């Protein structure tokens, strides 16, 4: 189980940074000294984010939200919620959840 988790984390690292966690290569980096003689490891990244990359990341986050909460992030449906006014006249959006997380619920999510 621990080895599976390690493999998963290495995969996420690879996806996020495009680097192999086990690689000892310094590809994409170089060492330089500044005017004070301090050694710096200069890393060359992938450049600025593009709209396409941001859209892909947004889609990934929406998928994770869907997996975690069972709700569509783009949905404007008020299913499971209702509006109420309190004694002061303030409008509240009352959401009814599924209750607190328990060990059983978490184990089911991991399965």
Quick: pLDDT tens for 29-53. 678 899 999 988 887 777 777 898 8
| Domain assignment of residue 96, yes or no | yes
> Do the domain assignments include residue 40?
no
Residues 6+ apart with CB under 8 A from 36: none
Say if 85 falls within a structural domain. Answer: yes
Number of domains the chain is built from: 1
Residue 22: which pLDDT band, with cuts at 50, 70 and 90? confident
For residue 73, is it within any domain?
Answer: yes
Which of 75, 77, 93, 95 is closest to 85 using CA atoms? 93
- State both tokens at 61: 């986050």
* pLDDT tens digits along 62-105: 999 888 877 787 876 656 667 889 999 999 888 777 777 788 88
In a domain, 25, yes or no: no
- In the predicted model, is pLDDT for residue 28 greater than 70? no
* Mean pLDDT score of the chain: 82
Q: Is position 33 within any domain? A: no
Strand spans (E) along 1-111: 29-33, 39-43, 81-85, 91-95
Q: Is residue 91 part of a domain?
A: yes
Pull the structure tokens for residue 64: 């994770």
State the residue range of the domain holding 90: 47-111
- Whether residue 21 is contained in a domain is answered as no
């Amino acid at each position: 189980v621990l080895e599976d988790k390690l493999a998963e984390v290495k995969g996420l690292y690879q996806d996020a940074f495009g680097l192999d966690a086990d690689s000892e290569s310094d590809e994409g980096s170089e060492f330089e000294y500044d005017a004070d003689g301090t050694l710096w490891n200069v890393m060359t990244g992938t450049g600025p984010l593009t709209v396409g990359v941001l859209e892909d990341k947004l889609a990934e986050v929406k998928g994770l939200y869907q997996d975690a909460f069972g709700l569509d992030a783009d949905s404007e449906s008020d299913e499971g919620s209702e509006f109420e006014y309190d004694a002061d006249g303030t409008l509240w959006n009352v959401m009814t959840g599924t209750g607190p997380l328990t060990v059983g619920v978490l184990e089911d999510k991991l399965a």
